[in-house]
Structure 1
Amino acid sequence: MTRKYESNMPFARVLHAVMAIIFIASSAQAQSAPWKPDRAVTLVVPYAAGGGTDATARAVSRQLGVLWDQPVVVENLPGADGLIGTRRVMDAKPDGYTLLLQVPGIVLTKYTPGLKGIDPLARLEPVTAVSQSPAAIVASAKLPVKTLAEFVAYCKTSVQPCSLATGESLARILGRQLAAETGIPNLIVVNYRGTGPIVTDLIANNVNLSFTGITAALPHYRAGTLKILATQGKTRAAALPDVPTTAEAGFPQFQSVTWFGLFAPKGTPVAVTQGIVAALRDAVKDANVQKTIAAAGAEPVVNSPAEFAAQVRAESERLGALVKLYPLE
């Protein structure tokens, strides 16, 4: 019996060594594989359907669903300058299954009267930018103006005060800045719950002007029912090559680029956020996703959580300085 046991020892050692190698290789493979959800993911858009944030969310959610083999459901929760939908994600479990798509206006929440100084960024993890697009200065086609300078001149001499439609805090600040720095008297700022109603009233000339995303305005611009007086990027928008930038129009202080960024609840594991970024890098390569983003006048920009966090901080500093000059009311 003893001799038989001893004769099998080399084989037992080899088998043990092989099993150890298999275990180590399996563990390494499991660690290197990016995180993927095993059930439906909710992507919250804190604005009404039909705007640039919603269009971006729906473009990437479909492809993420394909890549993950799990549904990615877009949930529109507008209200309170985006805080209602944002709070939904702030209060969610930090496990990657409830995500938020937001825009730079999120950094202004803490300055908004009535919102009690709530700072969503203190309870969210920046994950990545998804795309970016210059905002546009959009006017009713019924106005007798062709340029931003002509609009300013028109408002200075019009018997009726000019009006500006806004759907979020940043546009309200830009409206006050426009009135103060160009000398437009008595500019009326009208608040809306979403981009869709703004576009409807712009077409009817119930309001005269708006700072808004390119997405909702583009088809109406092409149809001739809206005018886009300028775009706010450093260079002309690819979707609007004939429209000047604000700098080219003589108003460089109104330069602004809107990023559409993905956030997760604070405390979401690094492996989860990295898995989301990896999937998004693949998602934006899809031809249909690129087509949808391009149609919105945007371009895909997927960066790392650290890079996006730095981008959010820079925007917070820029807009924080602006809100000191033009406080929200």
Structure 2
Amino acid sequence: MTITHPKKHLFPIRAATRRTLLALLGAATLGAAAAHAEGAWTPERQVTLIVPYNPGGGTDATARAVASRLSVLWNKPVVVENLGGADGLIGTRRVIEAAPDGYTLLFQVPSVLLMKYQRSLKGIDPVGQLAPVTAVATSPTALVMTGTLPFKTLPELVAYCRSKPCNVGSGENSSKVRAQKFAADYQLHDMAVVNYKGTSPIVGDLVSGNLTMAFTGITAAMPLHKTGRLRILVTNGNERAQALPDVPTSMEAGWPDSYSVTWYGMFAPKGTPARVAQAIADATREAGKDPHVREALAVAGAEPAFTSPAAFAEMIRQDDARLGALVKRFPLED
């Protein structure tokens, strides 16, 4: 904020007024210092970071890079625990039920926002039982196809799927919704959506040709894309991914209204003190300055996006509205 100082006062400030102002400024400074001291929480023992998906995907890779640096900054172990299953619900519930003390954290993606639409949860919203701490990175999702087919453009793939049976893999809720939207937009009524437990088996079936395509993050696909064993046809951001400058966006390829960018974010149990959440966010931002963390994010096709708890909460609110509109069109099935 820019403060403009007038050249002279319209009314002179009396000595007593000056003393009052100085006293107020001093009190404000002491108050800010006290707040900073109060918020300077650091763990006294091991911190567990739950990744509610199987190892090998972008969520896992990003979490491990950050956890490794946090261990150094805090001088305490930050252990990543993969607890997959039920579209991320098992690991998410573990954090919801943990003590709100900063020692059990959750690393999640936008699919957590769709859990409340699952019939089995009967309207229970896991996000409402969590405290947003910080976004860590963002990465566009991508449409990835098997390398056993010769197509190199989205229109070619669509034309093929209109003439031959095709299937699309999904590892979590948000990719299920995107797969259904793609099939509806291109009137691929016979396309089968195949559900997987994580990204690694999807990649395996894409490579073998058992799966035609998938909507997933770009992390696990990039190495095999470069070798030609599978192909990233398009990414779903507003701009081309920095890690894949030669791959067009879905909008460039002719699929409008296809925006889908994954965030990787950290949550704590609801009730975690604000000073603890802020201290974790501050430490995570500091961890993000490390060259090894930056390199790990780049390899994963992600871009740094460290935020305050409040800014992350606003990001969640906006994504919740967007995904909620989609799931009304394409309901989730348990």
Aligned with residue 289 of structure 2, among 285, 288, 304: 285
- Structure 2 Cα separation of the partners of residues 269 and 185 of structure 1: 49
Matching of residues 35-114 of structure 1 within 5 Å: 35-114=41-120
In the other structure, the counterpart of 1:116 is 122
CA contact (8 A) 2:38 2:275 kept: no
What CA distance in whole angstroms lies between the structure 2 residues aligned with 1:187 and 1:230?
19
Q: Which moved more, 1:114-123 or 1:207-216?
A: 114-123
Give the CA deviation at 1:118.
2.5
Task: Tell me if the contact between 1:34 and 1:278 (Cα under 8 Å) persists in the aligned partners.
Answer: no
Distance 2:39 2:284 in 1: 15
Per-residue deviation at 1:304? Answer: 0.8
What letter is aligned with 1:121? V
Q: Aligned partners of 2:256 and 2:300: how far apart in 1?
A: 23
Give the Cα–Cα distance (whole angstroms) in 2 for the partners of residues 28 and 303 of structure 1: 23
- Superposition RMSD in Å: 1.5
TM-score, normalised via structure 1 length: 0.90
CA contact (8 A) 1:137 1:228 kept: yes
Q: Shift of residue 251 of structure 1? A: 0.7
Conserved 8 A contact 2:39-2:276: no
Amino acid at match of 1:85: G
- CA shift at 1:255, angstroms? 1.3
Q: Label 1:149 to 1:269 Cα distance change in 2 as closer, same or farther (>3 A).
A: same
1:199 alignment counterpart? 203
Q: Deviation at 1:115?
A: 3.1
| Residue 223 of structure 2, aligned match among 219, 222, 240 | 219
Aligned AA (2:162): K
- How far apart in 2 are the matches of 1:33 and 1:88? 26
> C-alpha displacement at 1:32, in angstroms?
5.4
Q: Distance in 1 between matches of 2:39 and 2:180?
A: 50
Describe the superposition over 1:98-154 as per-residue Cα deviations: whole angstroms up to 9, x where unpaired: 000000010100112323332111110011100010011100011131111111111
Question: CA separation in 1, counterparts of 2:263 and 2:39?
Answer: 29
268 and 314 in structure 1: CA distance in 2 versus 1, 3 angstrom threshold: same
**Paired letter, 1:257:** V
2:179 to 170, 175, 181: 175
Q: 5 Å matches for 1:262-277?
A: 262-277=266-281
Alpha-carbon separation, structure 2, partners of 1:124 and 1:33: 20
AA paired with 2:97? D
CA distance in 2: counterparts of 1:222 and 1:244, whole angstroms: 15
Q: 1:207 to 1:95 in 2, by over 3 A?
A: same
- Indicate the residue corresponding to 2:190 in structure 1: 186
Distance in 2 between residues matched to 1:218 and 1:328, nearest whole Å: 28
Alignment of 1:135-154 (within 5 A): 135-154=141-160
d(CA) in 2 for partners of 1:32, 1:95: 15
One-letter code of the match for 2:54?
Answer: A
Greater helix percent: which structure? 1
SS class of match (2:132): strand
> Which whole-Å CA distance do the structure 1 matches of 2:88 and 2:39 have between them?
34
1:218 and 1:262 mapped to 2: Cα distance? Answer: 24
Q: In the alignment, residue 79 of structure 1 is paired with which amino acid?
A: G
Q: Among residues 302, 307, 310, which one is paired with 2:306 in the alignment?
A: 302
2:224 corresponds to 1:251: no
| Number of residue pairs the alignment of both structures matches | 303
Amino acid at match of 2:278: Q
Give ranges in structure 1 of 5+ residues lacking alignment: 1-23
1:151-196 CA distance string (max 9 Å, x none): 11110012xx100000111111111111111111300110000100
Counterparts of 2:203 and 2:323, CA distance in 1: 25
User: How far 1:65 moved relative to its partner?
Assistant: 0.3
Identity value in percent: 56
Q: Give the deviation of 1:272 after TM superposition.
A: 0.2
Structure 2 SS opposite 1:242: coil
What is the SS of the residue equivalent to 1:114?
helix
Rounded to whole Å, the distance in 2 between the matches of 1:30 and 1:167 is 41
Aligned mate of 1:230, from 218, 223, 234: 234
| Counterpart contact for 1:155–1:185, Cα < 8 Å | no
Output the TM-score relative to the length of structure 2. Answer: 0.88
| Equivalent in the alignment of 1:14 | none
On the 8 A contact 1:128/1:305 being kept in 2, the answer is yes
Query: Which position in structure 2 is the counterpart of 1:5?
Result: none
